[in-house]
Structure 1
C-alpha cells in the first residue's frame, strides 16, 4: 500500500510563485503601453490621468496617428517618481 501526504501550503506557495513568474514575464515583454494599458496600470480614468500627470513635460509619450503610446520602462519610472513627489 502506498500512502502520499501533500503539504497543501507548500503546493499553494508553488502555485503562487509560478503565477508571479508568468506575470513578471508579461511585464518584461511589453515594450510600450497604449492608453488602455496605462489606465489599467494606474487605476485612473482618462480624465483623471489628464488632470494629474499627462501634461507634465517629463511624462514620456508619443502620438502615432491618433493613438498615444507610452514606453513601458520609462513610464513606470516616471509614475513611481511622480507618486513619491506627491508625499
Structure 2
C-alpha cells in the first residue's frame, strides 16, 4: 500500500530575482577579471559596434582610455568599461 505524498514549494519571486542578479554580477566580474585589457577586436565585440562606429562616436573622446603599443591599440578593461557606461548615459 502506498501513501500519496504531496509537496508544496513556495518561492519568493523577488528574492529569486535578487539571487539571480547577484550571481550574474559575480559571474560577469569573474569573467572580466580574466582580462587586463581589450584589443580592438574585443572592444568591437564588447560594444557590439563596428570599428567605424566606434571611431565616429567615442574613440577620439580624450576621456576614453587607450594605449598604442607598436601598431596595435589596447584598452584597459576597468577604465574602458567605466568610460563606456558614462559615455552611453551622456550620448544623445
Structure 1 length-normalised TM: 0.73
* Whole-Å separation in 2 of the counterparts to 1:45 and 1:64: 21
| Aligned partner of 2:37 among 19, 32, 37 | 32
Q: CA deviation at 1:29?
A: 1.6
Count of equivalent residues: 74
- What CA RMSD, in Å, does the superposition of the two structures yield over aligned residues? 2.1
Q: Which segments of structure 1 move beyond 2 Å, counting only runs of 4 or more?
A: 19-24
Q: Which residue of 1 aligns with 2:73?
A: 68
Which runs of 5 or more structure 1 residues have no equivalent in the other structure?
1-15
Q: Which has the higher helix share?
A: 1
In structure 2, the gaps of 5 or more residues are 1-19
